[in-house]
Amino acid sequence: MAGQLIDGKATAKVIREEISQEITSLKEQIPTFKPNLAIIQVGTRPDSATYVRMKCKAAEEAGIIANFIHLEESITEHELYKHVVKLNEDPETHGIIVQLPLPSHINEDRITSAVLSSKDVDGFGPMNIGELNKKNGNPDFLPCTPKGVIELLKRFNVTIAGSKSVVVGRSDIVGSPVAELLKSLDSTVTITHSKTKDIPSYLKDADIVVVAIGRPEFVKGEWFKDNKKGCVVIDVGTNYVEDSTKKSGFKCVGDVEFNEALKYVKLITPVPGGVGPMTVAMLMQNTLIAAKRELANNGKLTNFEPLKLNLLKPVPADFEISRAQTPKEITQVALESGILPSEFEPYGSTKGKVSLDVLDRLQDRENGKYILVTGITPTPLGEGKSTTTVGLAQAFGAHLNKTVFANVRQPSMGPSFGIKGGAAGGGYSQVIPMDDFNLHVTGDIHAISIANNLLAAAIDTRMFHESTQKDGPLYKRLVPAKKGVRAFTPSMLRRLKKLGIDKTNPDDLTEEEITRFARLDIDPETITWRRVVDCNDRMLRGITIGEAPTERGFTRHTGFDISVASECMAILALTNSLADMRERLGKIVIGASKAGEPITCEDIGCAGAMTALLKDAIKPNIMQTLEGTPVFVHAGPFANISIGASSVLADKMALKLAGVEPTLTESLKKERVGYVITEAGFDFTMGGERFINIKCRSSGLVPDVVVIVATVRALKVHGGGAEVKAGAPLPAEYLTENVDMLRKGCANLAKHISNARQYNLPVIVAINKMSTDTAAEHQVIKEESLKAGAYDAIVSNHWEEGGLGAVDLANGIIEATQKTNNDDFQFLYKTEGQTVEERIETIAQEMYGAKDVEFLPEAQKKIELYTKQGFGNLPICIAKTQYSLSHDAKLKGVPTGFTFPIRDVRASIGAGYLYALAAEIQTIPGLPTHCGFMNIEVNDDGEIEGMF
């Protein structure tokens, strides 16, 4: 028998051509598709350089970019490790190989193991080798040489299934992996090695023989003599032996005595020209696979893994459901979201912060779809906006396989310890762990509190020192000499510019300039800046400060707000960057001088320090839902007096992570685009109006769809049902079908739909299902919603079923985003060309249904002052009750013909809006008789119990 050659060189060439053709085809659809292989070589070993040249040449022929990184032999292990980590995080690098051997001072295992399994195109990392050797394992890549062996067998039509295979050699690099691959293809495999007795006896009835023992011509040709059917031999060996006939003095031979074996075998690979070229070809093939996966994953480092829900009926308490679910490691959630390890700071295992660097990295991406969740006029029982937001995220991510983010506010601890409870959602649609979510998260509210209170302390301190010192000593102490040199701080230079003083040397100021600079001359009666605490401490609503003897009788009446009512929180929510936050903090107006000039945080010199305190708080926090989908938890402005929405930065970050590359075809964009579900506090007329007219003005973003959450129960309240109270038994009309009362109450829903449509945005009504609802009642809501101009009204049962119960709602949103657009979007009012009064009247009349607006004397006085000070062109936030479209909580349904009273107007200049007070709104709530904190304990395992 004369064996035929298995030409690995020619086969490898064909494979490279196939790869090149596939890359060309993909580039026609996606011009930016560029598979990239990074090759790291340390030192100047000639053999390593030869192998690298081979790989670079093969990459060029295959249409793959080869990024050759040549490093000095003296490089430290840590420096080399950092190179690998940087390549791991580079989205344009699809494959990484570290050319071995490495210098003796470097731990090869540590470096090769550092390569991400998703970029380990060599296939020799611990994860890929481990998965290969596991039963039903799933490696990201097969090792190149074993893969090349199997590819040769297949391309030369060698039947593997049912065959008898003998592998000579048991190395982790070739022998063992080849054996595993042959077994996986249903061959019966025997492994022999150098210590095996009578190897020829194993070859007598072998169909396939793979030799990878690393010894020149170890397997003799005559060993195949007794194999009458003729076998297929794959010689993996590459050995250099002395040969005086060669110019180099060496020749390359395999592990098989080739010329003798050729007489007895059916097929055999030559050396060189057999497996070697195939190894490099498989490296190119693995790199193409990696690039295609990255394209399919839309930049994510790992695929999303949903958490399974164990749905129980009746639905257990929220904290029981939360406790029963085991969250994923937050590092996994971040990776699944497309966040690089260098962009992520874990705070324990279930929460973390995300660097704003994500926005720079993804700045060229088109945004994902932006979904605003809001509601009808709420009742004390709540209508489930947060639960709907979370349920929708679970539906999109865990059931429809869409990239999704839920973006929610960080809850204040005041309600958590008071009566309202938490804001993590409920039932089987929650953010977890719910106790972490409702207590500290990563401490942003505490940072807000200390930044706010630093400014408060600075105000009173400055007034004290100005009252006890003359101009010269005051100026000397404000700008002290350090090592004989005096210098203005950055804040001081900004104040000088504001005063029109063009000097930078403190010694150059005239006496008149020193007085103007040093004396803020704050009028205590105008100070609006109060201290804050994240607790419902009603006794701090009004206090007197300065009672200690050291304050020399300098007392002042003031008070505390709850931390989330601080303008600092609104700034955190509305800022677009760290630099923007610094500017906004500097613009905070704390009061006026006795001459009527606005005094800012910049004047006091506090803005830089406040920025330092908030430099970590500005980074959005990430957590997860019960089904493992990502949740950004960031900022929490008080919804009565502020915008009541999560941060602009979290929204922008999520929209980029859920976005698509601009070079994709329109069909691919449509298929891959992700969704960001964000919530506005209270109803559309309060939260939604502020979200659009204030938050969207700041961010430049526009929602694609508005989701208005409604419940049968709440609509019956607006239809004339009896008063409901949290914790009290529900009256009968809420437990039985009553379509007449419901239809009457739908007028409130219709008003909110009409209000949203004024912005030319599509509206979907989410009917938040409860167990006492009937199909007839749901049909009434749908009929009235469509009549009012909604795109659709869809029943959702996410509280009881998690994401599965919200799939219909999610599909309805997808359809709405595909069939509608926001090209005709418009704001409710203009900030230029309208007075403050006109903007307030527009909101009250168009959104609330008021007939007239009454401006009380204090409000009129403030409007005149702010207009004079140059703040008359800002958006408006109206602080009022959430329980009615009007200012009167008792007026349910759709009240009309009322006069809307504005009793006061205040300025949040740093946040960028004026807020008008329509009624008495407490900026620090009080605690009830039975407080939420009374139920909370920590068990012996350190777990929090008794929350909600």
Cis peptide before 272, with omega less than 30 degrees from 0? yes
Distances (CA, A) of 100 to 43, 290, 823: 10, 21, 56
Task: List, in sequence order, every beta strand (DSSP E) within 112-201.
Answer: 164-168, 188-192
Asked if 303 and 83 count as a contact pair (C-beta separation under 8 A), the reply is: no
Which pLDDT does position 418 carry in this prediction? 64
- Going by C-beta distance under 8 Å and a sequence separation of 6 or more, which residues neighbour residue 731? 721, 722, 724
pLDDT of residue 935: 67
Question: Mean pLDDT of all residues in the chain?
Answer: 93
How far, in Å, CA of 62 to CA of 58, rounded?
6
Mean pLDDT of 523-537: 93
Q: 């195949």: which residue's tokens? A: 224
> 436: closest CA among 343, 540, 330?
330
Number of H helices, E strands in the chain: 35, 38
Lookup: tokens for 643: 């915008």
H or E element: which one contains 375?
Answer: strand 369-375
- Catalogue the active-site residues: 55, 99, 122
Rounded to 10 degrees, the C-alpha dihedral 633/635/641/644 comes to: -30
Would you say the C-alpha torsion 877, 878, 882, 885 has a positive or negative sign?
negative
* Overall average pLDDT of the 364-381 stretch: 93
d(CA 474, CA 466): 7
What angle (nearest 5°) sits at the alpha carbon of residue 554, between those of residues 553 and 555? 100
Q: How far apart are CA 800 and CA 676, in angstroms?
A: 23
Peptide bond into 620 cis (omega under 30): no
Cis peptide before 277 (omega within 30 of 0): no
CA atoms of 925 and 536, how far apart (whole Å): 5
Contact residues for 769 (Cβ-Cβ < 8 A; gap 6+): 778, 795, 796, 797, 799, 800, 805
The pLDDT confidence band at residue 376, using thresholds 50, 70 and 90, is very high
Average pLDDT over residues 511-535: 95
* Residue at token pair 């610094």: 582
User: pLDDT tens digits for 139-171?
Assistant: 999 999 999 999 999 999 999 999 999 999 999
The gap from C-alpha 594 to its chain's centroid, in whole angstroms, comes to 47
32-36, 243-247, 831-835, 935-939: segment of lowest average pLDDT: 935-939
pLDDT at position 854 is: 96
Q: Distances in Å between the alpha carbon of 163 and those of 2, 190, 191, 219, 734? A: 21, 11, 14, 21, 72
In this prediction, residue 283 carries a pLDDT of 97
Task: Summarize pLDDT for 395-446 with one digit per residue, the tens.
Answer: 999 999 999 999 999 988 766 676 655 567 899 999 999 888 888 899 999 9
CA atoms 692, 695, 697, 700: torsion sign: negative
Q: SS in 3 state form for 735-804?
A: CCCCHHHHHHHHHHHHHHHHHHHCCCCCEEEEEECCCCCCHHHHHHHHHHHHHCCCCEEEEECHHHHHHH
Banded pLDDT at 676 (limits 50, 70, 90): very high
Is the pLDDT confidence value at 932 over 70? no
Rounded mean pLDDT, 498-520: 95
Name 263's Cβ contacts closer than 8 Å, sequence gap at least 6: 1, 2, 3, 221
**Predicted confidence (pLDDT) per residue in 185-225, tens digit:** 999 999 999 999 999 999 999 999 999 999 999 999 999 99
**Residues, the chain:** 948
The region of weakest confidence among 231-235, 413-417, 516-520, 640-644 is 413-417
Tens-place pLDDT, residues 868-890 = 999 999 999 999 999 999 999 99
Give how far Cα 699 sits from Cα of 46, 575, 578, 685, 692, Å: 56, 8, 14, 20, 10
Q: Which of the four pLDDT bands, split at 50, 70 and 90, describes residue 60?
A: very high
Instruction: Let me know: does 938 contact 945? Beta carbons within 8 Å.
Output: yes
For range 91-120, the mean pLDDT: 94
Look at residue 947 in the predicted model and tell me its pLDDT: 63
The number of angstroms, rounded, from the C-alpha of 845 to the middle of its chain's C-alpha atoms is 38
Query: What is the model's pLDDT at position 223?
Result: 96
The mean pLDDT of 747-776, rounded to a whole number, is 96
Return the biggest CA–CA distance within the chain: 114
pLDDT of res. 946 = 67
Looking at the predicted structure, is the pLDDT value of residue 135 above 90? no
**Which residues in 69-100 are b (16+ Cβ under 10 Å) and which e?**
eeeeeebeeeebbebbbebbeeeebbbbbbbe
Rounded to whole angstroms, the Cα distance separating 332 from 351 reads 11
Question: Tokens at residue 553, please?
Answer: 């009788």
For residue 906, pLDDT over 60 is answered with: yes
The dihedrals phi and psi of 695, each to the nearest 5 degrees, come to -65, -45
CA distance 421 to 438: 9
Which pLDDT score, from 0 to 100, does residue 921 have? 74
For the chain, domains (ranges, CATH) are 4-295 (3.40.50.720), 318-337+350-442+617-819 (3.40.50.300), 445-614 (3.30.1510.10), 836-917 (3.10.410.10)
What is the mean predicted confidence (pLDDT) over 816-832?
Answer: 91
**What pLDDT band is residue 663 in, cutting at 50, 70 and 90?**
confident
Per-residue model confidence (pLDDT) at position 820: 84
Please report the pLDDT score of residue 249 as a whole number: 83
Nearest to 519 by CA among 475, 468, 480, 482: 475
Instruction: Give the pLDDT confidence score for residue 421 in this predicted structure.
Output: 54
Between 728 and 207, the higher pLDDT residue = 207
Q: Is 354 helix (H, G, I), strand (E, B) or coil?
A: strand
- 174 SS3 class: coil
Tokens of 847: 């959104």
Q: How far is CA 890 from CA 717, 730, 755, 779, 887, in A?
A: 11, 18, 21, 28, 9
**pLDDT higher than threshold 90 for residue 929:** no
Chain centroid to CA 379: 32
Peptide bond into 101 cis (omega under 30): yes
> How far is 561 from 283, CA to CA, in rounded Å?
63
Q: Comparing C-alpha atoms, which of 694, 727, 693, 732 is closest to residue 716? A: 732
Asked if residue 928 has pLDDT above 90, the reply is no
Q: Which two tokens stand for residue 695?
A: 């938050």
